[in-house]
Amino acid sequence: MNMDGDWPLPQPNTLFKVNRRPAESSLSKTSSIASTFSSLAKPVVAEAVQRARGLSTQSDVEGFHQLRVAFRKLRALYWAYSPYLGEEATAQATEEFKRLAAVAGGTRDWDIAGDLLRAAQAAGASIELLVAAACEKRAQAVLHSQSMIKGDDVEAFLNDALLQAQTTLQSRCDDLPIRAFAEKRIRLAQRALQKRSRRAALSETTQEEDLHDVRKAGKKLRYLLEFFQPVIKSGHERTIEELTSVQNKLGQFNDIAASATLIRSASFNEVPPEVVQESLQWLEEQKCRRMRAASRRVRAISGVAEAPDVNRM
């Protein structure tokens, strides 16, 4: 589990007003680079704040998942605008997004692992003790997430981050049009996906790391296409659907691989080692099957990863 130390979120000096109710997109092809950042960031921030506040009274699966997704989207957005935000500012913000996503993800990871263990149990594995222990680990992760992610702190941090970003962008690119910039950033994300998918496809032995890299690159490209669809040329809906399909296959594999790592690294004092080993054996069998399916999907897109070119959209 990727959790950093318990350290407080930075407190802002000035608040950037966040609209809690996501508004309709006001992007157009004549919008400036600076103005589009605010339009794109506000709905995602509103989602993150709402989910973070909900953690104090709820611990539902979807809440943790959507909170992690919101922070991932913010990371993609900051990457897109990084040429004008600057390397240092982008790194500082995205590292905090990554940390918060990891804290929220701790509960989400145990949700996934618990579902897989119950599937193994239904398939005949004698792992009742481990299933119960995983439920306890999930409860502990909820308490950790609730202690680390406070709605007021998250909102204050995001207010400050967006205010600083908006101020920087207004001083550097307030009068520059968005369309050419958006298309350029999307092309860079496409090339990264193409490079990683081909590397995974050409490898004689598929590596988990290669598939994980393809998954991350695909997510970034999909988020950027969704963000910028009002200002780039039309016709990218099929690309988003294809990326989503590939992500589903890669996600199924990643869930099993991550759950095996999580269970292997956890301490289960009340569970006999042979029970843990039985679950890991079942997960390994499932992982091999899912890896083959994911590898086939990556090979299928590797030769046409460059096809969703914004110049042809």
Q: How far does Cα 291 stand from its chain's mean position?
A: 20
Mean pLDDT of all residues belonging to the chain? 86
What is the SS3 assignment for 176? coil
Instruction: Write down all domains in the chain, each with its CATH number in brackets.
Output: 33-312 (1.40.20.10)
Tally the C-alpha atoms within 13 A of residue 149's C-alpha that lie toward its C-beta.
38
**Which strand (E) or helix (H) includes residue 168?**
helix 151-173
* CA-wise closest residue to 189 among 215, 213, 212, 221: 221
- In this predicted model, what pLDDT tens digit does every residue of 21-79 receive, in sequence order? 333 446 777 889 999 999 999 999 999 999 999 987 877 888 889 999 999 999 999 99
What is the SS3 assignment for 205? coil
Instruction: Name the residue with tokens 């605010």.
Output: 38
For residues 197 and 155, give the distance between their C-alpha atoms in angstroms, rounded to a whole number.
37
For residues 305 and 196, give the distance between their C-alpha atoms in angstroms, rounded to a whole number.
10
pLDDT of residue 311: 43
pLDDT of residue 1: 35
Are the beta carbons of 12 and 166 closer than 8 angstroms?
no
Helices 273-302 and 208-228 meet at what angle, rounded to 10? 60
For residues 17 and 163, give the distance between their C-alpha atoms in angstroms, rounded to a whole number.
9
Q: Supply the pTM of this predicted model.
A: 0.84
Helices 237-265 and 273-302 meet at what angle, rounded to 10? 160
Helices (H) and strands (E) in the chain, counts: 9, 0
- In this predicted model, what pLDDT tens digit does every residue of 209-250 receive, in sequence order? 899 999 999 999 999 999 999 888 776 788 888 889 888 989
For residues 96 and 48, give the distance between their C-alpha atoms in angstroms, rounded to a whole number.
13
Q: What is the DSSP letter of 312?
A: G
What is the SS3 assignment for 306? coil
Tally the C-alpha atoms within 13 A of residue 64's C-alpha that lie toward its C-beta.
24
pLDDT band at 15 (very low <50, low <70, confident <90, very high): very low
- In this predicted model, what pLDDT tens digit does every residue of 175-184 receive, in sequence order? 899 999 999 9
